[in-house]
């Protein structure tokens, strides 16, 4: 008798740069029935009105995004809602600041979230790679990451004991709103080396989840993206038993036991 009203039995929050629409749209695409998505926007100095950015984002605003107090205050406000997990939807600050800083950031934000767990995407990627038994990984950065930032990403994953066999910004338009799935599929398919056991596509603002299944089918290897692994981790931490189909092998797995 009643029509669906969007009510979520499990509710996942996401902290996203103020002009970035990709984390919310991809989380909503990933979310099965009974899972709802709730976003809080955090100021990010790399955006211009309308969500445009410079072709290469500067390091200073990227680093500053993870500084207090803006993101801490946003996390506390978002956690006033009855949520089950919160995602920090920003990969590039992890690349710039490093894995040890992610541990500090998670602890700092969770001090403001009333016990609601906070997921950091790069840390979730490391967890997902471990769950998939992937040690040799190909990294794909958004086209708006500099070569230096891409190499900082290499350092991030190497510091976590992974071997990076390929990395580089994708050779696509440096415009979040211009990238199409076929372009990303073709670029990744032609650049991932045979010795890569898996692929990680960084950047929560990088439209990427639509190509996961096609790439996994053609490459016969796990393909991970920043929003996908963050959502997987948040879903598992929430205790939800929901099934996510068509967005990667990772959703067949639970979090590894610590």
Domain boundary assignment for the chain? 10-123+227-252, 125-226
Domain 10-123+227-252, CATH number (from 3.40.50.12500, 3.40.50.720, 3.90.550.10, 3.40.50.10490): 3.40.50.12500
pLDDT at 241: 84
Mean pLDDT of 102-116: 97
Q: Is the pLDDT of residue 156 over 70?
A: yes
Q: In the structure encoding, which two tokens stand for residue 184, read together?
A: 């990303």
Q: Which fold has domain 125-226?
A: Rossmann fold (3.40.50)
Q: What is the pLDDT of residue 258?
A: 66
Q: Is 82 exposed, middle or buried (0-12, 13-18, 19+ CB in 10 A)?
A: exposed
- Predicted confidence (pLDDT) at residue 229 exceeds the cutoff of 70: yes
Does the pLDDT value for residue 54 go beyond 90? no
Cα 194 to chain centroid distance, Å, stands at 24
Contact between residue 75 and residue 118 where contact means Cβ atoms under 8 Å apart? yes
Judged on CB neighbours under 10 Å (0-12, 13-18, 19+), 136 is middle
Are the C-beta atoms of residues 119 and 12 closer than 8 Å to each other?
Answer: no
Asked if domains 10-123+227-252 and 125-226 share a fold, the reply is: yes
Indicate if the pLDDT at residue 191 is higher than 70.
yes
Per-residue pLDDT at 193 exceeds 90 = yes
C-alpha of 10 from chain center: 19
Task: Express each pLDDT in 61-98 by its tens digit.
Answer: 999 999 999 999 999 999 999 999 999 999 999 999 99
Region 160-182 average pLDDT: 94
For residue 254, what is the DSSP state? P
* Average pLDDT, integer, range 195-214: 97
Cβ-Cβ contacts under 8 Å for 81 (sequence gap 6 or more): 11, 13, 38
CA distance 204 to 206: 5
Q: CA dihedral in degrees (217, 218, 223, 226; nearest 10)? A: -100
pTM above 0.85, yes or no: yes
**Which residue matches tokens 């199409």?**
180
């Amino acid at each position: 008798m009643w029509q669906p009203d969007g009510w979520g039995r499990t509710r996942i929050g996401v902290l996203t740069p103020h002009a970035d629409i990709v984390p919310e749209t991809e989380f909503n695409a990933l979310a099965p029935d009974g899972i709802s998505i709730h976003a809080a926007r955090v100021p990010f100095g790399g955006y211009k009105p309308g969500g445009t950015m410079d072709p290469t984002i500067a390091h200073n605003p990227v680093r500053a995004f993870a500084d207090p107090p803006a993101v801490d205050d946003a996390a506390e406000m978002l956690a006033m809602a009855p949520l089950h997990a919160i995602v920090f939807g920003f990969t590039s600050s992890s690349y710039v600041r490093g894995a040890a800083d992610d541990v500090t950031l998670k602890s700092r934000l969770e001090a403001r979230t009333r016990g609601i767990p906070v997921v950091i995407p790069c840390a979730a990627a490391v967890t997902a790679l471990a769950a998939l038994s992937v040690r040799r990984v190909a990294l794909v950065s958004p086209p708006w990451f500099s070569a230096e930032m891409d190499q900082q990403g290499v350092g991030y994953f190497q510091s976590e004991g992974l071997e990076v066999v390929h990395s580089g910004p994708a050779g696509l338009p440096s415009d979040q709103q211009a990238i199409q799935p076929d372009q990303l599929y073709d670029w990744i398919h032609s650049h991932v080396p045979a010795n890569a056991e898996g692929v990680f596509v960084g950047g929560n603002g990088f439209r990427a989840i639509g190509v996961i299944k096609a790439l996994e089918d053609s490459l016969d290897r796990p393909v991970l993206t920043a929003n996908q692994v963050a959502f997987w981790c948040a879903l598992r931490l929430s205790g939800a038993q929901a099934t996510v189909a068509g967005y990667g092998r990772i959703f067949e797995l639970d979090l590894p036991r610590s």
